[in-house]
A and B are shown apart, each in its own frame.
Chain A
Amino acid sequence: MNTVLWVILWGAVFTYAARVGGHLVLSRFHNIHPRVEAGLNAVPAAVLTTLVAPAAIQAGPVELIALVVAGFASLRFGMMTMFLIGAAVLVGLRQVVG
């Protein structure tokens, strides 16, 4: 088998293991400890933040403005509107600044 296929298939196996594994481990416990529960409740914000923060630190002024505007937009609007506003600011400013 060539290396590309080998990497893809093992990558897929490990990814599925991660997606099914958390449940298989946690479902063994009948009562979830409140601290585990509190930790689980924090998972989405914590993980998603790590996908934003390093990108924001490295971003140029145009990207940062788009991100901040989108952040404020999300206080008022839904996901889709917020995303479109952020994308519009980004594309618009890049046409001007380059």
Chain B
Amino acid sequence: MSAGSISEGAPGSDVWRGLKAGLPVVVASAPFGLLFGALAVDNGFTPFEAFLMSASIYGGASQMVGLDLFGAKIAPWLIVLSIFAVNFRHVLYSGAVGRRIRHWPPLQQAVGFFFLVDPQYAESEVKGQRGEKITFAWYMSMALPIYVCWIAEAWIGGTFGNLIPDPHALGIDFLLPIYFLGLVMDFRDRPFWLPVVATSAIASVIAYKTVGSPWHVTIGAAAGILLAAAMPLDRKPDDPS
């Protein structure tokens, strides 16, 4: 369908590069995909419902928060609101990546935004910052293996959840922060990286202790972003448009 629209460079190498960018994410997210499925069934979901949640929401942290609240028996609309709060950062991802995929046809953009999860965003920004064009072939080659594995893991985890002998010994509960730290470090060449990270870290911890989860994500991020926006503009980054 998209043979005509993949014009820049060699599409084959774009596919290859996309697959390569996605592979670490497939490996790193596998424990969480499985864990999500297992926890979902533990919270009264059927394996199909776990699969459906991974397939339609496709956002690990928000899925975990949703499960957590479901177990806590709070009002359904509040669970939806919390899922939205955790995923609200995607508004910012969308605005940033949207600038880089303006050359895609609208339908491809509509499809692409569905797959805009944290690592997909991070890799797109890293690639865009290098001055490389984000092609649909590259983007989907990265996105699809991650997505397919993610939804398969939810189903497998839901079906065979009790087979994980000791999640704590395997460190499953703390792999996510390590992974996110790696992504943070990847952006250390950006202007004002250190003040932004320090501000967001402090603000998110304060929000976590006062307002509570999941709002610490939105509040902490806003603090760092506002700081960057308020900084002197003398070091103007190159305008991509």
Mark A residues whose CB is within 8 Å of B.
Answer: 3-12, 14-16, 18-27, 32, 34-57, 59, 63, 66-67, 70-71, 74-75, 79-80, 82-83, 86-87, 90-91, 94-95
Contacts and interface: CB of A to CB of B under 8 A. Distances in A.
Contacts of B28: 83
B182 to A, nearest CB: 5
A75 to B, nearest CB: 7
Contacts of B197: 45-46, 49
Interface of B: 23-24, 27-28, 44-45, 49, 52-53, 56-59, 61-62, 66, 70, 76-77, 79-80, 83-84, 87-99, 102, 109-110, 113-114, 116, 118, 121-122, 125, 168-171, 174-188, 190-193, 196-197, 199-205, 208, 213, 216-217, 219-231, 233, 236-237, 239, 241
A38 B109 CA distance: 24
B55 to A, nearest CB: 9
* Dominant SS among interface residues on chain A: helix
B98 A27 contact: yes
A53 B196 CA distance: 13
Given A21-B94, A55-B174, A48 B88 contact: no
Contact of A12 (B57, B61, B96, B178): B57
Nearest to A88: B171
Contacts of B202: 53
B225 A43 contact: yes
Contact of B223 (A4, A34, A46, A48): A46
B96 A38 contact: no
A50 B199 CA distance: 10
A83 B113 contact: no
Given A8-B49, A52-B177, A94-B169, A25 B80 contact: no
B217 A91 contact: no
27 contacts: A3-B76, A4-B44, A8-B52, A11-B53, A11-B62, A15-B57, A15-B87, A19-B94, A20-B110, A27-B102, A34-B236, A38-B237, A39-B228, A41-B191, A41-B228, A41-B237, A47-B200, A48-B184, A48-B187, A49-B224, A51-B177, A51-B217, A53-B220, A54-B204, A83-B24, A83-B175, A94-B171
